[in-house]
Amino acid sequence: MLLRELISILDAHDVNIMLTITVQDFVKFLCVAADMAMRSEKSLRLTTLRRPIRYLAASLPPPIHQYLEVFWDASFNILKDCYINAQHHVKTHGIMTELDDGRLPIRIVDQSLFPPVEHCTKCSRTMRSSSLFGYLYDVDGCHTIEHFSLYCQPCLTNYYVSYSIYNKQRMFYTSSQGRDPKVFQVHTHYFMTHRLAHHFKMSQMLQQCSVFSIINLYNSTFMGARAPPLFTPLQSFFPQLSVEVCKDGMDIDTLIYNYSLRSQVLVVPAAGLDRVRYNEAKKQCSSWIAAEGTAHKNHSCSLYESGEVEDWESLQQADELDRAEESIRSGEERPSKKPTLARARTHNDQLAVAPCGVILARQTMFNSESPSAVKLFLLDTFPTSMLQVILYDSACKLLAHIYKSTAEERDRFTESIVAVDAFHFKSHKEDDCFCRKWTDPNLYPQLKKDGSWIFNSSAAEIANIWYGGFASICRNMTAIQYNFFLDEMLLQNYVATIHMRFNFTKMYTDVTNDLKQGAWLTDSQKLEFRLPNAPDVRATVELTSQFGRPDGF
């Protein structure tokens, strides 16, 4: 159809169209209508009389609503010919080969990324701009990008997409400084979206996938015929997702979240290797959790009436690397100075599990799972108010040790029921008078209702099995990465468990936003429950122990 034919058709319908409608309005109509026709022509059986007017009106500006039927009638036969898949053409023709004279043609990339500032934040001068090509990893595949940086020569400051560099320090932007909420820079030529980093972490949390498995799955899905092109034949970086980019991307995403949660600026060295650049920041995150406890340690809910503390046999790893200069959490045992024939540098990880399956806390035991270590674990995890029901498979040994402790420590447990869980109690010796007299769960009628146990003992078993799945993933990790990784997995597990248990309609991103604002934590602390005939019973917890040091990144 010639343009004058289209104009004559429109003019024949309404002479006012030519005086009121702009070219931009009509082009917008053609773009929306052509895309809709390609997607739904057969399913909706579109004709000149069968028009999707409501959809077009919702998608287009108000000035052209009164002419939608006229536009549809005039252009219906050419709509499919007007459709252009722009993204496909960018992927196919955006990056062209060199010209005959050696010059590079203009590069059309999927996305251009810029720093959040235009002038130097220190002196307000205009800065020199430069750019590099790279790749952006997202849940829908790998995209070509061009990212720009600015340099202020008087201030000796570089501004990049996700951070600035000054005085050999890399400072990541905060939300108030204009940090991109969707994309962050991992390495020089590689970027990642926060939703992909979250997807990778959820894969690890739910499936215990190693980084090697994650990158193989991603590359096999997106890198075959769908792989983005190279910018030049001799470039030294490639679109395939690497182990380093995947691992560092997840770590940076976690660090940005933890620092923004506490209104802190993430600062790391600008020089050095990426594998050690973030170590101090990771140690800081672990120290926050060690000092404050996990964000969900006070979680309690009415989904189950109580919980249990079980101690499962630890899974020792015979080929673990030396974890020199262990980061000692407050209250745990010190590394043994005696020589050992095993390469394991820890004994087990102790878990405190709520009845609903939420892991309230974890603690690394270095030499043994002794009653003294378990006692200190409970005292440090719950410094203000002790749980009133503690179920533990060696509760008799724990209670005997508590009786021998200081008066101050004994007083912390005076309102607590310390008992062996019903499953493990069957294996305790019948002639153990202390166990039968003080830690028999049948002695506490408030733990039963209508003759049945009211706590869910399988919750700790399931949590323990899930936690044990990380044994192969964590093998050969450094102490810093080990604690940092498991703390993040517990947070992801907490959010996923609460989301599943209470059937929330919000997406995970909304839940994490609530967590960042603290609303989620406040609500969870209000969800207290009580055991029947047991006034003031706030929560029950189950202790489990797991591997010495849980395959390598």
503-538 pLDDT, tens digit per residue, is: 543 433 333 333 222 212 112 222 222 233 333 333
Specify if 104 maps to a domain: no
Structural domains in the chain (count): 3
User: CA–CA separation, 265 vs 267, rounded Å?
Assistant: 6
Enumerate residues 6+ apart whose C-beta is below 8 A from 328. 334, 335
Average pLDDT score over the chain = 79
pLDDT score of 227: 86
**Does 305 lie in the same domain as 270?**
no
**495 or 243, which is more confident:** 243
**Does 306 lie in the same domain as 226?**
no
**Does 530 lie in the same domain as 463?**
yes
**Does 195 lie in the same domain as 225?**
yes
Comparing C-alpha atoms, which of 133, 137, 142, 143 is closest to residue 104?
Answer: 133
Q: Where is the domain boundary, 277, 309, 328?
A: 277
Mean pLDDT in residue range 540-552: 49
Tell the residue number behind the tokens 């400084």, with chain if given: 177
CA atoms within 13 A on the CB side of 269: 10
CA 46-48-54 angle, to 5 degrees, is: 65
pLDDT score of 301: 61
pLDDT score of 211: 94
Enumerate residues 6+ apart whose C-beta is below 8 A from 168. 269, 270, 271
Q: What phi and psi, each to the nearest 5 degrees, are found at residue 543? A: -95, 130
**Does 144 lie in the same domain as 253?**
yes
| pLDDT tens per residue across span 233-283 | 888 999 999 999 999 999 999 999 999 999 999 999 999 898 899 999 999
Amino acid, res. 89: H
Through-space distance between the first and last CA atoms of the chain, rounded to whole angstroms: 60
Q: What phi and psi, each to the nearest 5 degrees, are found at residue 359? A: -85, 115
**Does 173 lie in the same domain as 141?**
yes
User: CA–CA separation, 459 vs 188, rounded Å?
Assistant: 44
Q: Is the pLDDT of residue 325 over 50?
A: no
Tokens of 90: 């960018």
| pLDDT tens per residue across span 171-199 | 999 999 999 999 999 999 999 999 999 99
**Does 171 lie in the same domain as 248?**
yes
Mean pLDDT in residue range 224-235: 85
**Does 253 lie in the same domain as 135?**
yes
| CA distances in angstroms from 1 to 18, 85, 172, 370, listed in the order given | 18, 21, 54, 86
**Range from 204-218, 368-382, 420-434 that averages highest in pLDDT:** 204-218
* Reported pTM: 0.78
pLDDT score of 99: 66
Specify if 181 maps to a domain: yes
Residue 351, SS3? strand
pLDDT score of 314: 31
Q: Where is the domain boundary, 64, 82, 100?
A: 82
Residue 28, SS3? helix
Domain of residue 21, residue span: 3-82
User: CA–CA separation, 128 vs 118, rounded Å?
Assistant: 10
**Does 178 lie in the same domain as 149?**
yes
**Does 541 lie in the same domain as 465?**
yes
**Does 405 lie in the same domain as 340?**
yes
Tell the residue number behind the tokens 């590689």, with chain if given: 190
User: CA–CA separation, 347 vs 340, rounded Å?
Assistant: 12
Comparing C-alpha atoms, which of 352, 355, 390 is closest to residue 527?
Answer: 355
Residue 142 near residue 241 (C-beta atoms within 8 A): yes
Indicate the helix (H) or strand (E) that contains 444: none
| pLDDT tens per residue across span 391-423 | 888 889 999 999 999 999 999 888 888 888 877
**Does 17 lie in the same domain as 157?**
no
User: CA–CA separation, 59 vs 187, rounded Å?
Assistant: 39
E strands, 244-392, are 267-269, 348-353, 359-365, 389-391
